[in-house]
Structure 1
Amino acid sequence: MSADWDAVLLAYLHDPPDKALDIPGHVERAGRYAEAARNEPVESSQLQNLADSLASQVERLPAPHWRILTVAPQNGALTIFHPLSAQRRDLKVGTIDQAWVIQHVRNLTQGLNDSRRQFLVLWRFFLERLADADHPWYAHLPADTRTPDHTIWHHLDITSGLQATEDTHGRALLAFALGPVQRFIEAARTVRDLWSGSMILSWLAFRAMRPILEQFGPTAFIYPALRGIPLVDLWLRQPKLLGESKVPLPGVKQRRAPSLPHRFLALVPWGANGAKAKALAIECQQAAKEAVRELADAVHGVLDQPLSGLCAHWDRRWQHQVENYFSFAAAVVPLGGSAEEVDTRLADLLAGQSSFAEAFPEAEAVRNLARAIPPNQQPGYPQDHAGRWQYQVELVQRSLAAHRTIRHVPPNPAITPGERFPQKCTLLGSFEQMGPDDLSASRQFWDMAAEKVNIHGVRIRPREGLCAVALMKRFAGPALLAKELQISPDDLRFPDTWTVAAAEWLRQAGIDPDQVRKQHRDWNGCWLHWPTPNYDSEETAPCPEPLFRLIQKAKEQHGKPPIYYAILKLDGDNLGGWLRGENSPKVREVMHPDLVRYYEGLGAHTKAGLDAKRPVGPALHAAISTALTNFALHVVPDVVAKHHGTVIYSGGDDTLALLPVSTVLACVRKLQQIYTSDWYTHNGREYLMMGWRATLSGGIVLVHATDNLRLALQDARAAEHQAKEAGRDALAITVRRRSGEHTTAVCPWTFVERVQDWVNAFLQGASDRWAYHLYAERQTLTALPPEAIQAEMRRQLQRAEQPTPRLIPPDQLLKTFQQLRDSAVEVNGASRRRFASPGEALENFLTLCQSASFLARGRDE
């Protein structure tokens, strides 16, 4: 069961990338480009395929035949719309240069003598080569100039994906998800544990994709977008595919960053009674399970020699735990059947209605646009398909969610009568520790293991007792992932939390932990806070004397290093709504004005269709996926690195990073601004982003370097959840003080700059006593009229010692409070205040002021 790769290649080349520049001549150009790829003549009939017609049906809005209405470049520009925000843009374009395009095709396919490899190299690099610094517009050329809200590249991807999965019994959607996710990631004692959990999930997701990827290619995937993903590039570098000469090795930072989400959606053949789709779902699940076994065997292999000498049967529960931790769910839904049958089934299953029109009136209104076109002006394929794709996607996602609610309960390991029940894992409390069951013997085993086990610098920490899954997570990097990612185990070193906290301070002091490690063969961030070189040498190696003197000198010049760091968690808002079309712009907003005028000229009955939400087709799903992949690959690593942070994972809309408290606000604001922009320029290329209609919610937790990382991660997730509960599109900041006091404040994105201004004021010497005085009086203040509250705020600030009133002007502070109190959010189409009461707004505001003071100090005192 595999694709007809020659047909897939021709489907990918059936339209030339420059089609929009000259539509009448596009078939001839497509033939020339295809001949250059295959190095043999190509007839125009070979470029005609049913997949193109299907892709056009499900992607595009209804329009008359292009001979009735053609939109060509005007004054060297094409009108295009951002697919999600509907922002109009006049794209400056050049002229067609067939010889230049042909040369690129030949350069890419040179030496590749089979259609599969030719297709793969063009899929991966054709767009990248054409959209160079002199021709960036190639990346944005539309598939249809009349509904120019998706690119020709998305159309080519979808067409070739449909062709690859062609089947006499139709196609299907296959949805897959693995778990657990948060619970597995958060079971972490160190930054390396945190990264390892994220990377394992990303790698397992990729291994689950492999059966579909190898049989039907990357364009079979609707989500996530795979072009440029490092794991995919490493796969392409295999000699049997493109090889190392064709695919550059991604950088170490790119390979080290987990960038695949834990779920995917793909097109697959359906087969007789769904046999092929169901078999592929099982293959994906089995591939993921095999990957778990492979990882477990590799970790067991590096641990068995040191641990078997301490306990002969240290691993007797190993296999049971490995096989019963991860879950892999898959669901398939057929795309075949007559249009009427599919519509009726969707209406019944998703809305409990007997007809599509009753169930989905907006989609029906768009279908009526197609029916309004006079018969002699209609194209050669049906266009009354609006909504069918997006509701089929919704159906398979609901089916997957139902599968995931059925959870496997692993059997308890057998305990013989009189046998002691083993101790629980200190990281994953649901599983038992490896080693002896007896408490004293177990403690002795793990104490010895902490001394004896050292795999490329990865150790078992004192007082730990780990299960098989925790050991697999801890040692995955040196045991297998380094090899899989083609990087040295030394490149899998991660800064400890002390070092994360002091990253900006270290830069100012001119101390490079990597250089210290090379010179002294060790580095530990806690040395920055030791009063003597041997302060805690029982737990940690002593600090080298020359380095200790350098640290003391740096403290004299720059003050004490920060001891708190920030955990940043970001999540795109209502991504499911985007995929379901709930957030789509109106149809008229993404149609070329000429086409809007055409429909308006047909009569008032077209108004409902023009005002309906734009139905989501595979090209729009591809645009969402592309935007999220671009954010993960080209934005997050770069922005976090510039703010001296460490990326833990970046899987599209979901991001986790560790940063110094001094840079976290600037970093998160930059990430939010780029995520909600239409385009992002990086290294001379423009990348699609989610656009201004999209929103992002985030959580920041400021945590002491010695605090429990698992609990701090839970607080970061809780902060992000609180931002969403407060209306989304906001940032929640939690401060975990060592005293035990934890405070959280919600900050709308437009107020982040003001909070940063307060941070700067506190750094310049402003006092924060006024904020604490006001906070202590908050219950009394809440009962007062607004004028009295403002008067007390003004009084407290004016009586504060200089330079406080100068750096934090009372009038400006009062204005900010008023704006925050009056801030509103859109919820279900209605506007409401972000804070439920004036008292809640006041407490949130004062907590923000205190948090700004804490951000400036980076420590308790």
Structure 2
Amino acid sequence: MDKRQFWQQKIIQFFHDPPGKPFVGFRGAGKHTDLAKRLFDVFQTSNQQRLRYFIKSFDWAAAGADRPLVTTPRLKGVAPIKVDWRKGDRSFITHPLAPGFQLMLPVPPSTEVQPRDVEDGSPEEEESPRPWESLRAEQQAIAQKLGKDIGDWNDDAQIQKTYVRLWRRFRDDLVDRRIVRSALAGDPLWAEMPAETRCPDHSIWDHLKVTTALAFMKPHWMFKPDEWSKDHWDEGAQEPWLLRMSLGPTQAFIAESRTSRDLWVSSFLLADLAWHAMEPFVEQYGPDCIVYPDLCGNPRADCWLYEHYRDALADEANPGTLAAVLPNAFVALVPRGGEDGHLRRIEDLTEKAQAAVRERWKTLADIVESWITGIRGDEEKPDRHWRKTWRRQHGQPPVYCIWSAVSWSPMGHLADAASLRGRALPVQAEGFREAAPDKAAQAQRDKVTIAARRERLAPWVPKETWAHYEWAREVYALCNLGFHQMERGFDYALTHH
């Protein structure tokens, strides 16, 4: 995968779902795929060779990671699982830690509703308000605005710049469109738009971030596991990995503070060094590859955008912060890398990150040294040899980088969800719940797949946590095995752990 293909795929995956997807579920609103295609076409009006969305494996993996999908079989008398988060023309957001409290999000009435065709002599009446009309118009306006200044769609740097602007501004521009009409500072409906109406516990922006971060992944079909398993699920350089890097020792570094000013400076220094550790990953794969913390709207990340991608920020933006807005650790979703194209080896990027931390510390130490020299003035003072002591003490940063990475592998294909069932109690004999003779061969293959997954993930996780996940996994698999497997999504939390 070369650089242009990588950044083009990120743009394609960004438009696989429209931001207002939940409001396309109304009768007469059309399909969300139609709206997504419309937004993508509006965005790339200047592109002579239109990009198209075909590969869905990125979305499947991200969807499985975002939420566990519970679906009930379509049987007579069985009601589908449904979560009501809309009340008329209003939607609401709540939180498990605040039961009974709801933040109501008004949806403006449509300005595009046309009168009905009425017979002569009958009272003229208009259609009932359709909230998706105004939301759809807002999405199209933003997509058109962000795509109108794109020059050469075949230029690597231009495509990268285009994606970064899309990632940073689409949500904010939607939020700001109704800032005057909203009682709140901005529009919380666009800021917190759910990605899934059946499980509205995360926003569409969280889903899009993981989907675009996986743009490097090897395309394949979830429902054709036999073709994929021929290569033993080998994805090579395009295999997704979760990487965690931290700077430490944090407490020992901050504990050297003697005043509140020292405490602030030490925290700010750690945040600054953490950013420079992230920067090689951000430059190579985009800011969305950082799963934690979220960099969209982060003041430190905006300072970097202001310097390198000015168009990614609003015209009036002037980012800056005096706060330590980054933790001392981050988690990135990156490819294994190693091929000749754009995908770099994880080891190479981590070495580059550690070198960036050392270089940043040296730069800061040199700035302070120059400041001290300016205050002292005369170099012929008796204690002029302080420079040697200073450089010896600050030749290396007082913190070091630690990193670990683990592959986010597919769960492996199971032919029957019943294969997940084992003995219900330890006292039950071996062979309990064994498969029927005609399914014994397939059940044995499923057990090999289950054992391989357990060997790969169980050592990382406490036994109690593993048991809870396995119990939950059986429930989801029995509801809908195809949705549950979703490439590798259900194992995202275990891999992250």
Q: Is TM > 0.5 for Structure 1 vs Structure 2?
A: yes
SS for the counterpart of 1:150 is coil
Question: Partner residue of 2:335?
Answer: 269
Name which of 345, 348, 351 aligns with 2:456: 345
Name which of 209, 213, 224 aligns with 1:157: 209
Question: Partner residue of 1:490?
Answer: none
Q: Residue 390 of structure 1: CA displacement?
A: 1.8
Name which of 27, 30, 34 aligns with 2:33: 27
Higher RCO structure, 1 or 2 (CA under 8 Å, sep 6+):
2
- Opposite residue 258 of structure 1, the aligned amino acid is A
Q: Residue 246 of structure 1: CA displacement?
A: 4.0
- Correspondence list, 1:347-366, <5 A: 347-351=458-462, 360-366=466-472
- Correspondence list, 1:515-664, <5 A: none
Q: Residue 40 of structure 1: CA displacement?
A: 4.4
Question: Partner residue of 2:13?
Answer: 11
SS for the counterpart of 1:266 is strand
- Opposite residue 104 of structure 1, the aligned amino acid is I
- The TM-score normalised by the length of structure 1 is 0.41
1:237–1:247 CA contact under 8 A, matched in 2? no
Instruction: Give the Cα separation in 1 of the matches to 2:295 and 2:480.
Output: 41
**Structure 2 residue 426 is matched with structure 1 residue 382:** no
- Correspondence list, 1:86-485, <5 A: 89=102, 92-94=106-108, 95-96=131-132, 97=134, 98-113=136-151, 114-131=158-175, 132-133=178-179, 134=182, 135-163=187-215, 168-169=236-237, 170-240=239-309, 242=311, 246=315, 248-250=317-319, 255-271=321-337, 276-304=345-373, 306=376, 308-310=379-381, 311-324=383-396, 325-336=398-409, 339=412, 340=449, 341-351=452-462, 360-373=466-479, 379=483, 382-383=485-486, 388-394=491-497
Q: Deviations over 1:68-112 (max 9, x none)?
A: 958585523457553776778575545123332221223344434
Q: Residue 205 of structure 1: CA displacement?
A: 0.7
- Structure having the larger proportion of residues in helix: 1
- The TM-score normalised by the length of structure 2 is 0.68
Instruction: Give the Cα separation in 2 of the matches to 1:88 and 1:124.
Output: 31
SS for the counterpart of 1:53 is helix
Q: Residue 223 of structure 1: CA displacement?
A: 0.9
SS for the counterpart of 2:330 is strand
- Opposite residue 304 of structure 2, the aligned amino acid is W
Measured on the aligned residues, the alpha-carbon RMSD in Å equals 3.4
Name which of 76, 79, 90 aligns with 2:89: 76
Go from structure 1 to structure 2 and tell me whether the alpha carbon gap of 1:374 and 1:48 turns closer, same or farther (over 3 Å shift): closer
Go from structure 1 to structure 2 and tell me whether the alpha carbon gap of 1:256 and 1:164 turns closer, same or farther (over 3 Å shift): farther
Q: Residue 35 of structure 1: CA displacement?
A: 2.2
Q: Residue 15 of structure 1: CA displacement?
A: 0.4
1:178–1:328 CA contact under 8 A, matched in 2? yes
- Opposite residue 106 of structure 1, the aligned amino acid is Q
2:39–2:140 CA contact under 8 A, matched in 1? yes
Go from structure 1 to structure 2 and tell me whether the alpha carbon gap of 1:84 and 1:31 turns closer, same or farther (over 3 Å shift): farther
| Identity, % of aligned positions | 27
Go from structure 1 to structure 2 and tell me whether the alpha carbon gap of 1:188 and 1:372 turns closer, same or farther (over 3 Å shift): closer
Instruction: Give the Cα separation in 1 of the matches to 2:46 and 2:159.
Output: 12
SS for the counterpart of 2:264 is helix
SS for the counterpart of 2:325 is coil
Q: Residue 383 of structure 1: CA displacement?
A: 4.6
Go from structure 1 to structure 2 and tell me whether the alpha carbon gap of 1:240 and 1:348 turns closer, same or farther (over 3 Å shift): closer
Go from structure 1 to structure 2 and tell me whether the alpha carbon gap of 1:384 and 1:30 turns closer, same or farther (over 3 Å shift): closer
2:168–2:313 CA contact under 8 A, matched in 1? no
**Structure 2 residue 61 is matched with structure 1 residue 59:** no
- Opposite residue 294 of structure 2, the aligned amino acid is A
Instruction: Give the Cα separation in 2 of the matches to 1:197 and 1:374.
Output: 51
Instruction: Give the Cα separation in 1 of the matches to 2:215 and 2:23.
Output: 25
Instruction: Give the Cα separation in 1 of the matches to 2:467 and 2:257.
Output: 49
SS for the counterpart of 2:345 is helix
SS for the counterpart of 1:333 is strand
Instruction: Give the Cα separation in 2 of the matches to 1:177 and 1:102.
Output: 40
Q: Residue 368 of structure 1: CA displacement?
A: 2.0
Instruction: Give the Cα separation in 2 of the matches to 1:48 and 1:70.
Output: 28
Question: Partner residue of 2:427?
Answer: none
SS for the counterpart of 1:143 is coil
Name which of 43, 53, 61 aligns with 1:46: 53
- Correspondence list, 1:679-758, <5 A: none
Instruction: Give the Cα separation in 2 of the matches to 1:162 and 1:116.
Output: 15
Aligned length: 383
Q: Residue 336 of structure 1: CA displacement?
A: 2.8
Instruction: Give the Cα separation in 2 of the matches to 1:385 and 1:285.
Output: 30
2:60–2:486 CA contact under 8 A, matched in 1? no
Q: Residue 145 of structure 1: CA displacement?
A: 0.7
1:140–1:151 CA contact under 8 A, matched in 2? yes
User: Which structure 1 residue ranges, 5 or more long, are not aligned?
Assistant: 353-357, 395-861
Instruction: Give the Cα separation in 2 of the matches to 1:91 and 1:67.
Output: 32
Instruction: Give the Cα separation in 2 of the matches to 1:66 and 1:37.
Output: 38
- Opposite residue 19 of structure 2, the aligned amino acid is P
Q: Residue 18 of structure 1: CA displacement?
A: 0.8
Q: Deviations over 1:791-818 (max 9, x none)?
A: xxxxxxxxxxxxxxxxxxxxxxxxxxxx
1:367–1:386 CA contact under 8 A, matched in 2? no
Instruction: Give the Cα separation in 2 of the matches to 1:39 and 1:84.
Output: 45
Instruction: Give the Cα separation in 2 of the matches to 1:86 and 1:383.
Output: 31
Go from structure 1 to structure 2 and tell me whether the alpha carbon gap of 1:192 and 1:88 turns closer, same or farther (over 3 Å shift): closer
Instruction: Give the Cα separation in 2 of the matches to 1:259 and 1:365.
Output: 38
Instruction: Give the Cα separation in 2 of the matches to 1:297 and 1:11.
Output: 44
Q: Deviations over 1:260-298 (max 9, x none)?
A: 111111111113599812222222111111111111122
Question: Partner residue of 1:503?
Answer: none
Go from structure 1 to structure 2 and tell me whether the alpha carbon gap of 1:278 and 1:44 turns closer, same or farther (over 3 Å shift): closer
SS for the counterpart of 1:163 is coil
SS for the counterpart of 2:461 is helix
Instruction: Give the Cα separation in 1 of the matches to 2:300 and 2:488.
Output: 36
- Opposite residue 315 of structure 1, the aligned amino acid is R
Q: Residue 248 of structure 1: CA displacement?
A: 0.3
User: Which structure 2 residue ranges, 5 or more long, are not aligned?
Assistant: 109-130, 152-157, 219-234, 413-448
1:62–1:369 CA contact under 8 A, matched in 2? no
2:246–2:329 CA contact under 8 A, matched in 1? yes
SS for the counterpart of 1:294 is helix
Go from structure 1 to structure 2 and tell me whether the alpha carbon gap of 1:312 and 1:225 turns closer, same or farther (over 3 Å shift): same
